[in-house]
């Protein structure tokens, strides 16, 4: 197989270490071998390739930044970003599974969990023996999760949990769920809910036109008795949930780049091969304009990701900086996927090429982890000091 083509117009590879490049090429090879040949069929059937969970564990895609003593990879933030980039080059749904496990399940257990919780869950999450999900969004509270209705009451040796969560990635097959709910004083805490607990169910959401190779569901809690040792002791309030989202949104910024690079390369190759009016369509100025703008967008997004990763390595990246990157890069990827689909003409709407699948997937990526407009308002609040979303 030929090497994956990947635009690097500003020679950004010079900014990467040997370890970064090693991680990237290992994940890229894995995606080429294990995801690209099968994912279109799974997406057409609206099925998650569940066998990939173990394989993601084997290549170290779960918890790459978690310390090695807990089974994580002990890698830096750039390595994590490059991993999500390569996985989303294959499919945004597969990347969603990995983002949730790493940033929304392993990260909160590592950051807010007790030592016993870390040792009990993190190594098994790292290998893929356990799969997790993250329950924040509710049917009546999406962009405003602080309004959540899920709640628990303290009993002698357990918490009694009631409520529901909607749009939860991995939910139908997850072994554990990090669930954000209010105590009887209305304070938000995080509970680790395990499959098999009585009153806990995870119905699947069907009929999605986007992220079809990812499984999405509800979390329903009817008088679930959650043992007291399953509360994350150091997670307090929405700010703890938002810290998890910062991790995931950072990975999404890189992931969207992967989808964009794939669409760009497919369109570039197609434009050089497709003959109309006795010439390759790449010879027409309008097609060149599309390709030139795609490359410009990708190059800008690559620089953004790299700098954000370096700031994150120093623990200096702010929520607003992460919002800017998530919003910019997903919008950029959507634009590129749409233009690539145009370049492919009729072929662009088929599963013969990955472009339409990326385009449909990115519609969800633009909505989840904070919508495009909510990220704009987070930036607006950062600029003016006035939150307009409240």
121 sits near ligand FAD (criterion: CB under 6 A): no
Confirm or reject binding of residue 134 to ligand FAD (CB under 6 A): yes
Tell the residue number behind the tokens 């910062």, with chain if given.
Answer: 246
Does residue 117 bind ligand FAD (CB under 6 A)? no
Hey, what are 236's tokens? 């307090």
Contact status: 143 vs ligand FAD (CB under 6 A): yes
Interface with ligand FAD, residue 168, by CB under 6 A: yes
β-pairing verdict for 176-182 and 188-194: antiparallel
Q: Does 389 bind ligand FAD (CB under 6 A)?
A: yes
Q: Which region, judged by CB under 6 A, interacts with ligand FAD, from 22-30, 58-66, 129-137, 303-311?
A: 129-137
Give the nearer residue to ligand FAD in terms of CB position, either 26 or 111.
Answer: 111
Does 216 bind ligand FAD (CB under 6 A)? Our answer is yes
CB of 134 to ligand FAD, least distance (A): 5
By DSSP bridging, strand 176-182 and strand 132-135 are parallel
Indicate whether 108 belongs to the interface with ligand FAD (CB under 6 A): no
Residue reference for tokens 């990090």: 178
| Distance (Å, whole) CA 71 – CA 177 | 19
304-333: which residues touch ligand FAD (CB under 6 A)? none
Residues 170-209 touching ligand FAD, rule: CB under 6 A, are none
Per-residue string for binding with ligand FAD, 344-383, x by CB under 6 A?
A: --------------------x--xxx-x-xx--x------
Give how far Cα 173 sits from Cα of 45, 166, 290, 328, Å: 17, 15, 41, 32
Which helix H or strand E contains 54, and what residues bound it?
Answer: helix 52-58
| Residue appearing with tokens 């057409």 | 44
Q: Is 369 a catalytic residue?
A: yes
Q: Which helix (H) or strand (E) holds 212?
A: none
167 lies in the binding site for ligand FAD (CB under 6 A) = yes
Q: Which residues pair with 181 in a beta bridge?
A: 189
Q: Which residues are tagged catalytic?
A: 369
């Amino acid at each position: 197989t030929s090497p994956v083509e990947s635009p690097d117009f500003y020679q950004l590879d010079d900014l990467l270490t040997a370890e970064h490049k090693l991680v990237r090429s290992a994940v890229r090879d894995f995606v080429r071998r294990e995801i690209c040949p099968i994912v279109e069929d799974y997406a057409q059937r609206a099925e998650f390739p569940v066998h990939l969970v173990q394989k993601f564990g084997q290549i170290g895609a779960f918890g790459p930044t978690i310390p090695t003593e807990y089974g994580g990879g002990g890698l830096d933030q750039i390595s994590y970003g490059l991993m999500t980039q390569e996985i989303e080059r294959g499919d945004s749904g597969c990347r969603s599974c990995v983002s949730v496990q790493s940033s929304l399940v392993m990260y909160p257990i590592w950051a807010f969990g007790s030592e016993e919780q870390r040792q009990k869950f993190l190594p098994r999450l790292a290998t893929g023996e356990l799969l997790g999900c993250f329950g924040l969004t509710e049917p009546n509270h999406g962009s405003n999760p602080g309004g959540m209705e899920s709640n628990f009451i303290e009993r002698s040796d357990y918490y009694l949990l009631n409520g529901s969560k909607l749009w939860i990635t991995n939910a139908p097959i997850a072994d554990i769920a990090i669930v954000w709910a209010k105590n009887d004083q209305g304070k938000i805490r995080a509970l680790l809910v395990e499959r098999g607990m009585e009153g806990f169910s995870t119905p699947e959401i069907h009929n999605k036109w986007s992220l079809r190779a990812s499984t999405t569901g509800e979390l329903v809690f009817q008088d679930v008795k959650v043992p007291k040792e399953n509360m994350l002791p150091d997670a307090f309030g929405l700010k703890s949930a938002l810290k998890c989202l910062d991790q995931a949104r950072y990975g999404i910024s890189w992931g969207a780049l992967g989808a964009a690079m794939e669409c760009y390369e497919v369109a570039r190759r197609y434009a050089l091969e497709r003959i109309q009016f006795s010439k390759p369509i790449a010879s027409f100025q309008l097609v060149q304009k599309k390709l030139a703008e795609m490359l410009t967008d990708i190059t800008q997004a690559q620089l953004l990701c790299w700098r954000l990763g370096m700031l994150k390595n120093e623990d200096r990246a702010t929520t607003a900086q992460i919002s800017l990157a998530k919003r910019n890069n997903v919008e950029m990827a959507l634009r590129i996927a749409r233009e690539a689909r145009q370049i492919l003409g009729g072929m662009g709407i088929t599963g013969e090429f990955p472009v339409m699948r990326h385009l449909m997937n990115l519609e969800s990526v633009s909505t989840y982890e904070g919508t495009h407009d909510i990220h704009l308002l987070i930036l607006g609040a950062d600029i003016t000091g006035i939150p307009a979303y409240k």
